[in-house]
Amino acid sequence: MTEQKTLAVKKVRNGRGIVALKNFRRGAIVMEVTGRIVSDDVVWGYWDVDERRGANCFRCDDDHYIDPNGKIGAYANHSCNPNAGIVKRGRKLLLKAIVSIVAGDEVTHDYSSLLGADDVWTMRCNCGEANCRKSVRNVARLPAATVRRYRRLGIIPDFIMATRR
């Protein structure tokens, strides 16, 4: 597991998060999101028992999620000004650096980039960034300029974009 040498789970602004132990160049793959593939019904079931577990799942197609429970991906936090984003390659979800990341930085992505227009989940945001949207909502609620930028960076998967129509 290379991710254990290059990343660590540490205390960050909001609880625990993924912190880089080395520098990543812009465009570099930081890690693959691994975990159990579960259906949307299973994720819905998490809400009653463990809201955080549901929030930490990564949507990977129209009706499946990767549940990173027990893996490092479970600590991937949201930021409204992220330094990484999720790209879908084949069936894999990869976390890619969208700016250069320096050792010691928390690695974050924008949860909205994986929330389809049909996703009703929302979260209050405390990322502390100047452009904080205060609440994390689905991709249809992202500012148009942000969508354009993320699409250019390849960090809103096609199946998520398709939900906007």
Nearest distance in Å: CB 136, Zn ion: 7
Distance between CA atoms of 106 and 30, rounded to whole angstroms? 12
Residue among 23 and 146 whose Cβ is closer to Zn ion? 146
Q: Binding of Zn ion at residue 125 (CB under 5 A)?
A: yes
Least Cβ distance, residue 130 to Zn ion (angstroms): 10
114 binding Zn ion? (CB under 5 A): no
Q: How many residues bind Zn ion (CB under 5 A)?
A: 4
Cα separations (Å) of 127 from 30, 80, 88, 135? Answer: 20, 7, 25, 10
Q: Is 123 in the site for Zn ion (CB under 5 A)?
A: no
Minimum CB–partner distance for residue 162 and Zn ion (Å): 25
Residue 127 binds Zn ion, judged by CB under 5 A: yes
Interface pick for Zn ion out of 117, 132, 140, 147 (rule CB under 5 A): 132
List binders of Zn ion among 67-106 (CB under 5 A). Answer: 80
Sign of the alpha-carbon torsion through 49, 72, 122, 66: negative
Residues found near Zn ion in the complex (CB under 5 A):
80, 125, 127, 132
